[in-house]
Amino acid sequence: MEPELECASCTLKWVYERAGVLSDDEGRFSLSRRILKTLSQEFYSDVNLGLMCNRIVESTGESIVHASQYYDPFKQESNQRAKELLPTAKIFIDKGQTEQERFIRACCLASASNIAPIGGPSETFAFHEVINILVGKNPLPMVMGDIFEAVKKAKRVLYITDNAGEIGFDSLLISKLKEMGSRITLLVKEDPFFEDATTRDASFFHLDRDVDHVLTVKGLFVPTHCPSSLRDSLDKSDLVISKGTGNYEALKDELDGKKAIFMLKVKCGPIAADSGVDLGSFLVKFDQ
């Protein structure tokens, strides 16, 4: 996805607040200078937003390693909160009258768990949006396109995760995908990467045993700038399932016609305009 003008300030805020969460004043000044320098070199109207974000994150150097001391307990607590909700979420999914309805419910809960803010998170994810769906207070997220038919035809799925905690709700959807006969390659971040899910978070929910392969990526997965092993997995997949804002920005219009399902909360104007839904909405979108 290519940027709008506001994407520069948004990306600066996203990286600065996460990488500088434990820095002192002098460290934040230094971090700001590095981010601004890289942003000035990378921000063009035709740049891939995911690639731009990766290069800015790389410019933060040891700040990202230092920040991991903040995010490690945060991620563990988010995982635990998600784990406590999974039995109720599974009951909600299983109440669907048909296989299609159960699959859609699983997708919608995975989408509603995508709640990390644009600014750096200041507290453990509590998944209030998911809870409101489970108790009937909120409607299911918007579903655009025939996602069930897309999965029925897919033998190999590349599932690209987003944050810790919410990966627990991904596990419920992955269970449905396996029931439908899909072989699944799970893609998580190399550690450290802020609040994003890594192999440790996948293992917490036993996804390392439930999927066929687990791969890691340094930063956001950008198909034109990734190791050959990751590109090979993409090429062999019939369908991509992508979680979150960053992955939408990195993958939208970059998949060479490959079918994809995007699941996310629409957190900014450019994605709202691109997806055709209101800002703040949760979305499950089939993209052909």
Q: What confidence tier does 288 reach under pLDDT thresholds 50, 70, 90?
A: confident
Structural contact between residues 106 and 173, judged by C-beta atoms closer than 8 angstroms: yes
Q: What confidence tier does 151 reach under pLDDT thresholds 50, 70, 90?
A: very high
- For the record, the structure tokens of 100 come out as 């299609």
Angle between helices 6-19 and 63-94 (to 10 degrees): 100
- The whole-angstrom separation of Cα 57 and Cα 36 is 11
Angle between helices 25-42 and 6-19 (to 10 degrees): 150
What whole-number percentage of the chain has pLDDT above 90? 99
282-287 and 260-265 strand pairing: antiparallel
Whether the predicted pLDDT of 210 surpasses 90: yes
- For the record, the structure tokens of 162 come out as 């987003």
- pLDDT attached to residue 212: 98
Whether the predicted pLDDT of 185 surpasses 90: yes
CA distances from 114 to 195, 201, 262 (A): 12, 15, 11
- The whole-angstrom separation of Cα 176 and Cα 189 is 23
pLDDT for 126-142, tens place per residue? 999 999 999 999 999 99
Structural contact between residues 157 and 184, judged by C-beta atoms closer than 8 angstroms: yes
- The whole-angstrom separation of Cα 151 and Cα 22 is 42
- The whole-angstrom separation of Cα 115 and Cα 88 is 19
At residue 80, what is the residue type? Q
- The whole-angstrom separation of Cα 159 and Cα 146 is 18
Domain boundaries 71-287, corresponding CATH code: 3.40.50.10880
φ, ψ dihedrals at 143, nearest 5°: -115, 125
- For the record, the structure tokens of 46 come out as 């035709």
- For the record, the structure tokens of 123 come out as 């507290």
pLDDT for 253-264, tens place per residue? 999 999 999 999
Domain ranges of the chain: 6-65, 71-287
Whether the predicted pLDDT of 224 surpasses 90: yes
- For the record, the structure tokens of 276 come out as 């055709």
